[in-house]
Amino acid sequence: MTALRIDDLHKSFGGLHVIQGVNFTVEPGERRLLLGPNGAGKTTLFNLIAGDLRPTAGQIRLADEDVSDLPTFRRAARGIGRTFQILTLFARESVIGNVIMALLGGRPQRWKPYGAVAKDPVLRREALEVLARVRLDTLADRPVSETSYGEKRRLEIAMALAQAPRILLLDEPLAGLSKEERGTVSALLAELPRNLTILMIEHDMDVALAFAEKIALLHYGRLIVDGTREEVIADPRTREAYLAQ
């Protein structure tokens, strides 16, 4: 069984072909890095996998199930969790309120029209556990609007973890962080359980290369190199793709 399998995926906007025939597979528990210069189509690929975009052609299989025609929320229910490169938080809520929203998303309880969410002890306890994993439990009741950028980045990750995903899509989890904060985030990424499959887009090579065993290189919507860390680093096309910028 593969965790994720992508077959001949295409996506175009009008006449612009952003993804042109991508194939790859990710095994369960694998940590895969998605590299590529700006405009290579990395985030588009994430959007296709998560379901925010529909492919023009091709198939996406999640644990051997074809999910290509499923809407985003059904894919989430099947175990796809993701973070956004541009912070996508509930700015009016508290830190823990954000995590509670994420926890509720996977439970039938989300349709309950009575009973105050804020007072639910089970949700609160579980949310605190998730927040502890990203070292935000001490800030649980602070409004998101009063947290630092680095804390928001970690909250972004906490929300994806609260979904208890089988496969986690991390879209530049270190974007815009200071050196110190990068250390914190990369340490908590290293602590993630080994049975969680992770696909990551990241430009910080030190962190990204330490994290991923396998790398796929995307260039103008095509996968030009796909292999182990050492193979991809050694491949001359990797250098070309980056130098061409």
Binding site for another protein (CB under 8 A): 13-14, 50-52, 71-73, 76-77, 81-82, 84, 88-93, 97, 100-102, 104-106, 109-118, 145, 159, 163
Closest approach of another protein to the CB of residue 145, in Å: 8
Residue with Cβ nearer another protein (115 or 236): 115
> 172 in helix, strand or coil?
coil
Closest approach of another protein to the CB of residue 57, in Å: 16
Closest approach of another protein to the CB of residue 69, in Å: 15
- Which distant-in-sequence residues (6+ apart) come within 8 Å of 30 by Cβ? 3, 197, 198, 213, 214
Per-residue exposure over 70-109, b if at least 16 CB sit within 10 Å of its own CB, e if not = beeeebbeebbbbbbbeeebeeebbbbbbbbbbbbebeee
> 124 in helix, strand or coil?
helix
Closest approach of another protein to the CB of residue 122, in Å: 12
Closest approach of another protein to the CB of residue 121, in Å: 14
Residue with Cβ nearer another protein (89 or 225): 89
Closest approach of another protein to the CB of residue 243, in Å: 27
Taking the C-alpha atoms of residue 213 and residue 211, their distance in angstroms, rounded to an integer, is 7
Residue with Cβ nearer another protein (33 or 162): 162
Residue with Cβ nearer another protein (133 or 182): 133
Contact 19, 48 (CB under 8 A): yes
Where would I find the beta strands (DSSP E) of 39-144? 57-62, 65-66, 80-82
Taking the C-alpha atoms of residue 228 and residue 225, their distance in angstroms, rounded to an integer, is 10
Residue with Cβ nearer another protein (157 or 232): 157
Residue with Cβ nearer another protein (77 or 187): 77
